Structure 1
Amino acid sequence: MNREYIEKIFPEINEIGDKQLRHGVIKAWLLAIKRGGWRRIDDVPFTLLTKTKRTLIQHTRTVTRMAMAVASARHDLNRDVLIAAGLLHDVGKLLEYSRKRKAVVKSKFGRLVRHPVSGYGLALEVGLPLDIAHIIAAHSKEGEAVARSREAVVIHHCDFIDFDIARSK
């Protein structure tokens, strides 16, 4: 997998105005794919907590587009940060999950480290700013212990809106 693949599955990347931030998002996904040993990610579920056909790619794009809509409605948010964080909030799932035969299951690593923590590490490792790493770390229940930035509040709620809708079916 390469940069073009990431840009194809996540076209919202091209909405990020800051070129360095855009490249960092791509680098984080490529590192997660490599480190997780994935040959393809198009069928990776966005959650193992409920039965759903929604994929990680679909969920990631939905959260990102919802965050973009919030940014359009409010002018006190950093749109580039919201897009980057929306695209990366679950990047750590490629380390939390693994493929066992044809099924996607919790990996050995994932039983020890949840995706907000591993995603935080991936973001910093590829040189992304701390505010992006903070949102990744704080988007789920781990974020209940810290003061979330405004953008982290948006990503947290967009993530759970999509999860709760998927769970309600």
Structure 2
Amino acid sequence: MREFAEWLYATPFSIFLQTTDNLLPAIQTVHILMIGIVYTSTLVITLRLFGRAWANDTLANTARRFMPWNWGGLVLLLATGILMIICEPIRELLNYSFWIKMVLVILVVGLATAFQLGVGRPLANGVSADGVARYRAPAVATMVLLTVIIVLGRWIAYSPSF
């Protein structure tokens, strides 16, 4: 992995990202804003599952309103994350926190996909309180995972490399 990271660091695109004034901070800013959007949209849906937000609206309507923000944020997180890896591949790719974070990101995307697929069919026709309750544990797990992902992302600067 070290050889790949060193090769990537020396590519013209990586050098461009490294040497262009204010480009990396701009990429990081967009990345952080998208973290906020994904976290907030997930939080709203989770709060709706517990009847604490948008309780007068159906879960399907709440999901239709906020899942596009979630998916759009995830796409931009992926794009900006890739750019940050290209800019600083040695710091990112050789870091334990980074790889733990990536495994958790895959889990979160899987949970979001399962929710999106599960919420589309049964909730389109309405759902009982028991039907909504089955989404609560995965929603809480998603919120916990997102929080850990945020902490790990910040911890990359301080954790050991291999």
Superposition TM-score, scaled by structure 1 size? 0.32
Q: Which has the higher helix share?
A: 2
Return the structure number with greater relative CO, CA threshold 8 A, min gap 6: 2
Which is higher, the Rg of structure 1 or of structure 2? 2
